[in-house]
Structure 1
Amino acid sequence: MVMDRRPDEMLNDMLRRGIDVFKGAIQGVTEVLRTGDDAIKEMDDAVRGKPMAPGETPEDTFINVLALMKGAMEEARETGSATAPAVVQRARETLSRVTSMEPSWRTGPSIGKTATDMFRLVLRDLRGSESLVKLATGRGEINDLEKLIDWADDVGNRLGKAQKVVAQPKPGAQPPAGVPATGESPRRSALSLPTTEETVTELKRRLGRELYRIELDLVAGGRIAGKPCDCLGSKHHFGIEATAEELIPMDTSPIYPSIISWLKVHQNEFEVEEVAKRPPEHYQALAPDVRRFRKEVMGTDSIAPLRDSPKTSEKTS
C-alpha cells in the first residue's frame, strides 16, 4: 500500500516522475525547433536558389519546373490539400530552380529578342508569382497550382509557336503579278486584299491602343475617382491577347508572347477585389512595363501612331 512507503521514497518517486515529464517536454520543444529550422533552411534555399546543373539552359529549367508543378498537382489531388508536405517541397524546389536560373540581382533582358531571352523573361515572371510563393510557404491552395500549370502550359505553347515562326525560312520568289498562286481561286485573287505588311501595321496599331489604355489605368492605380474599378479585369485583356496571338504567325518579334505571359502573371491582382487590397502605387509601378511593350510594338512611345491611318480616316469620314 502507498501508506507503507516511507515519505522520503515517495518524495524521490515524485521527483523522478517530474524529471521524466520535464525531459519529455524538452525533447518535444527541441523536435519542434529542429523541424522549424529545417523548414526555414528549405525556404531559404528556395529563395536564394541552389547551384544549377552544368550546361542547364533557361528552357531546360522551364521544362523541369513545369514537371515539378504537375507532380505537385498530382500530390495535391491525392491528398486533397495544397499544403501537403510533398506539395510544399515541390513548390520550394520550383522556386529554388527558378531563382537559381534568374536571381533577382541579375539584370534580365528588357525584351525577348531570342528564344533564350523569352524563357528568361518567363522564369523571372514565375519567380515573382504570388501563387508560387504561397505554395512554397505552405499557404497555397489547389487553385494556385491550377493557375500556375495553366499559365505554364499556355506560355509553353506560345513560345513553341514563336520559335517555329523564327525558324521558318524566308519566302522564295513570288509569282509574277496577275498570276494567282497555286490553289488560289481566280475570284479570290481578283479581290483587292490587304497585304501581310498592311495587316501587321493595323494589328500593331490596335495592340498599341489597347496597351495604352491599360497603361493609363495602371497610372491611375486601377481606380476611378479614387475608388477601385474593374478597368484592369480579365475581360479587358481579351483584345490584347487576341491581337498579340494573331500577330505571332505574321511577325517574328518575340514581344507578343512576352505581353501575353505578363498578362497571365498579373491577371489575379488585376481583379477588382485584389485592386481594393493594394495601394495605387503597386499598379503605378507596373505602368513602365506596359509602356515598354507599347514602345517595342510601335517603335516609339509617342501616341501619334495610335491614331487612325489617313486611309482609314478617309473611309470613315
Structure 2
Amino acid sequence: MYSVQSYGYLDLIEGTRQLAGSYPFVSAYVIGKSVMGKPLIALRCGSGPRQIHMNASFHANEWITSALLMRFAADLSAAYCSGEPIGGQQVEQLCRETTLWVVPMVNPDGVELAQRGTSPSHPWNRQLLEWNGGSEDFSCWKANIRGVDLNDQFPAFWEEECRRRGISGPSPRDYPGIHPLSEPEALAMAQFTESIGFDAVVALHTQGREIYWNYRNYEPADAEQLARRLGQVSGYKPVKLTGSDAGYKDWFIQHFRRPGFTVEAGYGENPLPMSNFDQIYVELQPLLLEALRL
C-alpha cells in the first residue's frame, strides 16, 4: 500500500478502494474538493455512538502523516473483522462503542506539489514558481496550491494569527489567506466537523514527538489529563502551547469546548522520509488507539 519514497494522492485513492472493498466495517465519503478538484476523502470505521475524528496532511510536506493514518485505519479494520488484537489490544468492543472518522489527506494538491513539483503544463505553474522564490524544489512547501496555509485558516483569532505571521500574500507557508475558510479544503473540514459534531479530534502533523492539547483556556478541564494519557502510551510529550491561533484544533476547541489535539509525529526535518515510517508508526499506533477511548 505504501511506496518506498513517498505516499501521494493516488496511493490514498487506491488504499481507500482496498479498505472499503475489503471490510464492510469501512465506508468512504467525499466531503468536498480541493482547489484543483480532487475529491477530499473521509473514511468511516465502526458504528458506535462516540464520534472521534483524525486527520492528516493539512501541510503538504507532512504527507507521511497520510500514510500513517491510512495504516492505522487498515490495522484497526483488520483487527475488528478478524478478532485479532492490535497492539496487544482487542478492539471489537471499542469499535462498537466508537465511530472513527478519518480524513487522511486534507491538502492533496499541496502534497502532489511537494512531491512532484510543477511543470509548464500545470495551471498554476507561473504563480507557484513566483511564490516559491523561483525555485523548482517544492519539497518544503506547506500550503495548498493557492499558497494558503490551511492550518491558519480557521475562525479562531484568525486576525491575530495574520498579524503574527506578517505575510501579506501567497507563500510556501504561513499565509492565512484573505479571510477564514477562504480555501475549499479548510471550508470542507469545517463543514464536515459541524455536520458530525465530534467528541474529540486528533490532527496529525510532523515533527517533534509532541502533543498540543490547549487553546486559550477554551479546552475542557480534563484536556491536560487526556493528553498525558496519549503521552504515556506513545512517549510523546504533552505541551501547553501559546502564541498560535487559527488552526483546526484551535477552532474545534473554541467552537465545541471539547478535547482537540495536534500530534507532531516523528522527529527530524520535514518532509520526514518514508524510511522513518515504521519507527514512527510504532510510537503512534498506541496513541491513536488510546484516542479512540477519549
TM-score range, shorter chain: under 0.3
TM-score (norm 2): 0.27
TM-score (norm 1): 0.26
Higher relative contact order (CA 8 A, sep 6+): 2
More helix by share: 1
